[in-house]
Amino acid sequence: MDLILCHTTADFDALGAAVGLTCLLPGSKIVLTGGAHPPVRDFLALHRDEYPLIERRAVNPQTIRSITVVDTQNRDRLGKAAEWLDLPTVKEIVVYDHHLGQEGDIPATQLHIAPVGACTTLMVEQLQQQEISLTPSQATVMALGIHVDTGSLTYDLSTARDALALAWLMQQGASLSVISTYRDPGLSPQLQQLLTTALQELEYLCLRGYTIAWVILKTDAFVPGLSSLASQLVELSEIDALLLVNEYPLGEDESRLTVIGRSQIPGVNLNLLFQPFGGGGHSQAASLNLRGVDTQATLEQLLQGLKASIPHPLTARDLMSSPVRTILPETTIEEAQRILLRYGHSGLSVVDAQGQLVGVISRRDLDIAFHHGFSHAPVKGYMTINLKTITPDTTLPQIESLMVTYDIGRLPVLADGQLVGIVTRTDVLRELHQNSEEFQDISPQHIAHSTQHTALNIQSRLAPQLWQLLTKASQAAEKRGWHLYLVGGAVRDLVLAETADQLMIKDIDLVVDGFHKSADVGAGVDLAKALQELYPAARLEIHGAFQTAALLWHKDAELDSLWVDIATARTEFYPYPAANPEVEASSIRQDLYRRDFTINALALRLTSPRAGELLDFFGGLLDLQAKQIRVLHANSFIEDPTRIYRGVRFAVRFGFDFEPRTEEYIRYAINSGVYDRTAQHNRKTPALQTRLKTELKHILEAPYWKSALQLLDNLQALQCIHSTLNLDAELLRQLRLLERCLHRFDPQLTLIHWQMRLEALIAHLKPEYREKVTKNLQLQEDSIHRLQNLAPAQAEVRELLPQLQRPSQIVQLLKKYDLPMLILIALQSPRSLRKKIWHYLTVLAHIQPILNGNDLKQLGYKPGPQYRQILDEVLAATLDRVITNKIEAEQFLSTNYPK
């Protein structure tokens, strides 16, 4: 016998999933292990005969071959039927569920758990895959399961998969009239009476902008349908969270407790709250059953846990951009427009000479004034002066209310009369339209369900010593009233890491966002100094006009070789393409906006409140899931060509593709000729000089350097090095030969291999271009000298080497060149010359003269300059096989150098 078990007090989702399974497992039977919700009970009173249900008492345990459990992972929710799980005759136990984050105790041989709104959805998807049709009665009960568990697709846990499943069930003939009857059947007379009592006895508490309520209802016996009562209470009372406790006697001396929880507070997870008590469910709806406990004490414990899990509400301090770009009332319309263009703002705050806010002017106001020919007029004649302002502690709901009531697009934030930030309509919309579902842990499989603000369990993914370092850094930042974020590549790698990994990241970027607390742009330096006091072994470096800091460990016992950059949140502006950006203090939001690609524009908050919150304003998580590289700005590559090289490096390293529009931006930037023009008009173009060399170093020392060069060539991006550089067949051949040479002649890595690869690329250019490129990239002196002299060296070797027959002549010619030069010469030489150079490097260069200085002294030759000449002659004779042993060597000396 194959059984399908529904949990006790079965709901429509459990029943719908079970009915779907009977279509997938013909001949299987459904067992309701202990009662059902009142609407399910009423539904089955009419429709029971349409489904293969049997009672638990009708089952012969010895005949059970397999058990499939739906809508739960816990055996205590199967009542007495849980005993069947331990029968030796049961060879297969399968679990289907959609409650994530639960620790199940059913000894399953197969687990099917997915983040969907209803368990029934999983059955629908399998039925579709196997092309199994349903009867209208089967489709109806399955549709009921999805409707009820997703609130007809209105609950936050609802997914597109649930909607597609419902659409298919409608095609299969699900009855809408039956669904409407049982989806919301109303309250029974008993529940209506309890609703009246609950509304009278409901207790409330307001905390962090949310209203939570609780009530204890004492009855003579168990009351079915309390979940419907809880939902009605939430709707009628307009509360954000509810704990409904029903206490009823179980015997003469013992009582039983049923607790129904409901929550509409983002970040509160009732499933996690109820699990320690043996309960569970969804994050927004959960329940538990207890016996023999103190009702008041249990309620108090649950209330304390609920209050502790309520997140701090977002305030203007969290939303605002800071510092605020301000202008004086006398600023002209034309100049104000230039400032908006530079910083990408939609409006500007106007302050007087004392720094007091006197008005706000929007882009639209400026455009209208400019259109009417008033470009030289001062902004004071067009700015809005009747301002609504807020404080850093104004909550998001209050901000939203002000914007809606007064139709305001931006609200200045004042603290002690000083302008410290601004909140725009875009800031508010970004928060209001984010998905409220949050995951306590993210894996590559869960990225699709991530949000702009998602919790990431960083502690489990980082090496303990790194976690301790970040904890100390966050504590130091909190002490100063600042927010601290882990940003960029480290966050990306943490998201991509397998859950079980504990990464020892070597390069960490931290950003301090504290401008609303302190106008000191050196906040990053202050934090670095505080951290160095805790880690005296770290070396502190302070650099740049913007006062960024770095802490460096070298072969430390715990942290190994670690680099931690600490900076204050900033925004940037490029005065011209390929320049160094000009930076100014700003907020974390603007700091992320200045970065290159969405997958690097992620930030993880390290400070409370909301520590562990993952900020993703630009869809970086979705791009990680799609395995694509997407740039943040259309002009990004024009401003900084090194971003092309970084994008290629990430694409090859992770096996990603460029998002089509991003690739178009790359090709447009390269084909536009902007890099050549900017190099002609500006003496300093760091993005085509030192920063480009740094990116080339990262690429050419990586194991994937060949693939990266091929992608750069495909994008025509090697032209950033020189407009004539292409990865043609000849250069590819030379690079392959270079690797053979490095492997054969430099196994101890005495040469800098990435630099040799770069020299090979430059050597492929015409000789007249090489010196300019090497100096432009600011290579080391030995590289510059080598490439400057490569052409005459090649000419000499090509002219003389073919004529030389004796080994001593070959050695005499080639020994004047060091190994890197000989390799470069060989790369561009014909095969016949390469063979001679190879023979020299492998054989001739290692032959020593048969006699040495000590031998000459023993033979009676006086030490002096002639020693060098004599030994050179002996070596030449040795190379040419004129002499082959010491006796012949001594005879050679007596003939040519008599005493």
What single string gives the DSSP state of each residue in 706-720? HHHHHHHHHTTGGGG
Q: What six digits make up the tokens of 586?
A: 């700003």
Q: Quickly count: other Cβ atoms within 10 Å of residue 253's Cβ.
A: 7
Strand 539-543 and strand 570-573: the pairing is unpaired
556 - beta bridge partners? 560
Question: 283-316 burial, b for 16+ CB within 10 Å, e for fewer?
Answer: bbbbbbbbeeeebeebbeebbebbeebbbebbbb
- pLDDT tens across 814-840, in order? 999 999 999 999 999 999 999 999 999
Angle at 569 between CA 568 and CA 570, to 5 degrees: 110
User: Per the structure block, which two tokens stand in for 813?
Assistant: 């010619």
Strands (E), 496-595: 507-513, 539-543, 548-556, 560-568, 570-573, 582-585
Q: Using one digit for the tens of pLDDT, what is the confidence trace for 23-75? A: 999 999 999 998 898 889 989 988 999 999 999 999 999 999 999 999 999 89
Q: Which two tokens stand for residue 598?
A: 């969405």
**Continuous H helices in 607-704:** 620-626, 636-639, 642-654, 660-671, 674-681, 690-700
Model pTM? 0.65
The predicted structure's pLDDT at residue 27 = 93
3-state secondary structure of 52: coil
Could you give the 3-state DSSP secondary structure of residue 727? coil
The secondary element (H helix, E strand) that includes residue 97 is strand 92-97
Measured distance CA(107)–CA(3) in Å, rounded:
15
Sign of the C-alpha dihedral computed for residues 319, 325, 328 and 331 taken in this order? negative
Per-residue H/E/C for 175-223: CHHHHHHHHCCCCCHHHHHHHHHHHHHCEEEEECCEEEEEEEEECCCCC
Q: Check: CB of residue 272 under 8 Å from CB of residue 441.
A: no
Report, in this order, helix, strand and coil percent for the chain, each rounded to 5. 50, 20, 35
Report yes or no: 790 and 770 within 8 Å, Cβ to Cβ. Answer: yes
Could you tell me if 78 and 8 are in contact, meaning their C-beta atoms sit under 8 angstroms apart?
yes
Length of the chain: 899
**Whole-angstrom distance, CA of residue 412 vs CA of residue 348:** 10
The runs of H, that is alpha helices, within 361-458 are 363-371, 396-406, 425-432
Task: Give the number of other CB atoms < 10 A from CB of residue 128.
Answer: 12
Handedness of CA 131, 133, 139, 142 (dihedral sign): negative
Helical segments of 276-434, H only: 295-309, 316-319, 333-343, 363-371, 396-406, 425-432
* Residue segments in the chain with a per-residue pLDDT below the cut of 50: 435-453, 516, 518-519
CB-based contacts of 803: which residues, under 8 Å, 6+ apart? none
Is the separation of the CB atoms in 396 and 319 below 8 Å? yes
C-alpha 218/C-alpha 297 separation (Å) is: 16
CA angle 249, 253, 255 (to 5 degrees): 30
Q: Which pair of structure tokens corresponds to residue 761?
A: 């690329």
CA distance 512 to 570: 9
Within 8 A by CB and 6+ apart from 273, the residues are: 261, 286, 302, 305, 306, 309
Q: What are phi and psi of 157, to 5 degrees?
A: -80, -5
Tell me if 319 sits within 8 A of 452, measured CB to CB: no
Burial 723-750 (b: 16+ CB within 10 A, else e): eebebeeebeebbebbeebbeebbeeee
Q: Which two tokens stand for residue 32?
A: 């309701």
In Å, how far are 72, 481, 868 from 856, measured between CA atoms? Answer: 93, 80, 11
Helix (H) or strand (E) holding 290: strand 285-291
Distance CA 684, CA 776 (A): 10
Cβ-based neighbours of 412, under 8 Å, separated by 6 or more: 324, 349, 357, 360, 387, 389, 390, 419, 421, 422
Beta bridge partners of 549: 542, 566
* 428 close to 403: Cβ distance less than 8 angstroms: yes
Q: How many whole angstroms separate alpha carbon 893 and alpha carbon 899?
A: 9
* Contact status, residue 454 vs residue 485, Cβ threshold 8 Å: no
The pLDDT value given to residue 444: 37
